[in-house]
Amino acid sequence: MSDTTQNKNDYSASNITVLEGLEAVRVRPAMYIGDVNFRGLHHLVYEVVDNSIDEALAGFCTKIYVSINEDNSVTVEDNGRGIPVDMHEKEHRSALEVVMTVLHAGGKFDKGSYKVSGGLHGVGVSCVNALSEHMIVNVYRNGKIYQQEYSKGKPLYEVKTVGDTDKTGTRITFLPDSTIFTTTTYDYNTLLERMRELAYLNKGIDITIEDKRHEEGKDESEGPAHRDHFYSEKGLRDFIAYLDENRERLMPEAIYIEGERNGIPIEIAMQYNNTYNENIHSYVNNINTHEGGTHLAGFRSGLTRTLKAYADKSGMLAKAKVEISGDDFREGLTAIISVKVAEPQFEGQTKTKLGNNEVRGAVDSAVSEMLENYLEEHPNEAKTIVEKVILAARARQAARKAREMVQRGNVFSSAGLPGKLADCQDGDPAMCEIYFVEGDSAGGSAKQGRDRRYQAILPLRGKILNVEKAMRHRAFESEEIRNIYTALGVTVGTPEDSQALNLTKLRYHKVIIMTDADVDGAHIDTLMLTFFFRYMPELIENGYVYLATPPLYLVKKGNKSYYCWSEEEREQAMIAVGDKGVHVQRYKGLGEMNPEQLWETTMDPENRQLRQVTIENAASADRVFSMLMGDDVPPRREFIERNATYATIDA
């Protein structure tokens, strides 16, 4: 046996590495904050803000201030009690230093300090400190200002007094470590939506957010580039009004439920509108539980049982002669469920599904009792709801027949696939991708230019149905939408949810929308994304949906060619090549590129720029889609003008 082999097999105590302090966070950051990309970067802010929210939930904080500073650092300040600074008995150092440098150290683990606390991963501010190039903390407490600075989680000096004050609270400023994160540029709108959400979920808290980064073309003396202030007196009722702003509501006021069952505070607001989608958003300790859980199950069971009992009692169901299911009670319903749980147990793929069994019964009981009282006290609204349910039941029966037409064929049989689909050869969904391409011309180029081993092409004929304004059976009757279902191999309905998407036979793990780089192409993108968000959200949640990014220009001079994806890139290319003898081609459509060009710019994994579609904030996405695809033009125009310049390449 060679020395090398002996060394490899010599596994002893010396091979065991112990990571001290916060080193583990820096070595495996994704384990603690999810990833080191856009989402993880913004999660740092949420962890710090969660500490301030905990103070507010405990009744000691009324104001929270968040700022993106000029150097892209972030400041979070509150007027709570301030992190304790006295000596910690076991650690023999300031409690402030313990909180900032030790994982799982803080008041939220002491139920005498906080009854409930937020924070999805529970890693706290020490994790933020570990992943920051620099952090400075000021504590206002006991009439003094205390301070400590850190570099990559390590204190630069002991906690010291730097002044006197008559206020209380904590101020934390941190700069994310550029050696850890792939991007360190914060997106103001992403943080803004989370602050808005927190203000609605915690009524009575004053939250201000501003962006101090210099905006090109704006005089710095004019103040911050952006500044927004949120304060909600009615909490979830204001939240519902915000979400349904672009929908026609069926009741003048939202139904509001607030109370406590078995020591669990429960707050619910719900409103019926004239749409055909179910929009329910659930939260536990301010965490958006995308995958639902026991609180959502309790809400659904309480809602269905109570409404059905009222509808039976009214005689309206017998007169309508229609069979009612649980789904019918939720069509056109916007609802927000917020519970506070002392010891939440999360499960599911993304750890955003509540598993506490005791919460289901508590929510079910609260909904049943309070909704029954509401229906008895508001007979006109109750009648409107039952009429909506009956209409939904009739539409569901029509949708079921239309859906059966979609699912009749065997998706793995070539005879069952759409005629225009050019399928790929590989049978492993994880290796396969499908392009939904605008028009037959571009579809022809894509079919010729693709890699047949793993790339499938399905040309779309014109613009698909706007599902935001269509009843469900109309969607399933649409030939283009039926082709999408059949090509993907998915079906509708699971044992848990009759409208959920069944992904067990999904044929591709990359679903790519490829349209022209013009206004019509953007419209088709929006129609497709609306369809996926309303009918196939599971595809987006699992990271399967992408937008292709074809180039806007080809700059050519002699035998040199430059593809440009933006106006800035075109201008830069013109400075590379000069003005003389240069030819600039503006691509108005995919069909203008030959198969080789389409491959090398938009389809080749080595060169293409794909934008992965993600949902950072489900409630915000719900509102945006209802606004973009609804009938009200002014808010749509304002949104497009405000956001058109923010398109970025994510993946």
Whose CA is closest to 417, among 461, 457, 472? Answer: 457
Angle at 20 between CA 15 and CA 23, to 5 degrees: 100
**What's the pLDDT at 198?**
96
Whose CA is closest to 618, among 350, 232, 368? Answer: 350
**What's the pLDDT at 520?**
82
Higher pLDDT, 366 or 635: 366
To the nearest 10°, the Cα dihedral for 569, 571, 575, 578?
A: 120
**What's the pLDDT at 16?**
43
**What's the pLDDT at 648?**
39
What does the block give as tokens for 501? 């998407």
What does the block give as tokens for 532? 């996926």
d(CA 535, CA 560): 45
Residue 388 phi/psi, 5-degree rounding, is -65, -40
- pLDDT digits over 37-79, tens only? 988 999 999 999 999 998 998 889 999 999 999 999 999 999 9
Q: Global pTM?
A: 0.78
- pLDDT digits over 288-315, tens only? 888 899 999 999 999 999 999 999 999 8
48's enclosing H/E stretch is: helix 38-57
What does the block give as tokens for 59? 């009744």
Q: Please say if the pLDDT value at position 17 is more than 50.
A: no
d(CA 519, CA 138): 49
C-beta contacts of 223-228 below 8 A and 24+ residues apart: 224/67, 225/188, 226/188, 226/192, 228/192, 228/195, 228/196
Q: Please say if the pLDDT value at position 227 is more than 50.
A: yes
Q: Which of 349-353, 485-489, 562-566, 625-629 has the highest mean pLDDT?
A: 485-489
**What's the pLDDT at 408?**
56
- pLDDT digits over 566-584, tens only? 888 888 888 777 777 788 8
**What's the pLDDT at 121?**
44
**What's the pLDDT at 243?**
93
pLDDT band for position 562 (cuts 50, 70, 90): confident
The single residue listed with the structure tokens 């709570």 is 80
pLDDT band for position 31 (cuts 50, 70, 90): confident
Q: Please say if the pLDDT value at position 415 is more than 60.
A: no
d(CA 88, CA 107): 13
Q: State the average pLDDT over residues 535-554.
A: 91
pLDDT band for position 224 (cuts 50, 70, 90): confident
pLDDT band for position 557 (cuts 50, 70, 90): confident
Q: Please say if the pLDDT value at position 646 is more than 50.
A: no
Q: State the average pLDDT over residues 90-95.
A: 84
C-beta contacts of 59-62 below 8 A and 24+ residues apart: 61/169, 61/205, 62/204, 62/205, 62/206
For the chain, the average pLDDT equals 85
Q: Please say if the pLDDT value at position 185 is more than 60.
A: yes
Higher pLDDT, 641 or 595: 595
| Range name among 260-264, 422-426, 505-509, 560-564 with the lowest pLDDT average | 560-564
| Range name among 17-26, 127-136, 487-496, 557-566 with the lowest pLDDT average | 17-26
Q: Please say if the pLDDT value at position 221 is more than 70.
A: no
**What's the pLDDT at 531?**
93
**What's the pLDDT at 647?**
39
Say which DSSP state 293 is in: B
Q: How many percent of the chain have pLDDT more than 90?
A: 49
- pLDDT digits over 374-388, tens only? 999 999 999 999 999
Q: Please say if the pLDDT value at position 504 is more than 80.
A: yes
Q: State the average pLDDT over residues 598-609.
A: 92
Say which DSSP state 493 is in: -
Tell me which residues are annotated as active site.
438, 516, 518, 520
- pLDDT digits over 391-410, tens only? 888 888 777 777 666 665 43
Q: Other C-beta atoms within 10 Å of 240: how many?
A: 27
Q: Please say if the pLDDT value at position 495 is more than 80.
A: no
**What's the pLDDT at 15?**
43
Say which DSSP state 36 is in: S
Q: Please say if the pLDDT value at position 371 is more than 60.
A: yes
Q: Please say if the pLDDT value at position 14 is more than 50.
A: no
419's enclosing H/E stretch is: none
User: How many C-alpha atoms does 447 have within 13 Å on its Cβ side?
Assistant: 14
Q: Please say if the pLDDT value at position 174 is more than 70.
A: yes
**What amino acid is encoded at 348 in this protein?**
G
Contact 588, 573 (CB under 8 A): no
**What amino acid is encoded at 452 in this protein?**
R
Whose CA is closest to 139, among 72, 86, 210? Answer: 86
Contact 287, 293 (CB under 8 A): no
Partners of 232 in beta bridges = none
Q: How many percent of the chain have pLDDT more than 70?
A: 86
- pLDDT digits over 430-489, tens only? 999 999 998 888 889 999 999 999 999 999 887 889 888 888 888 888 889 989 999 999
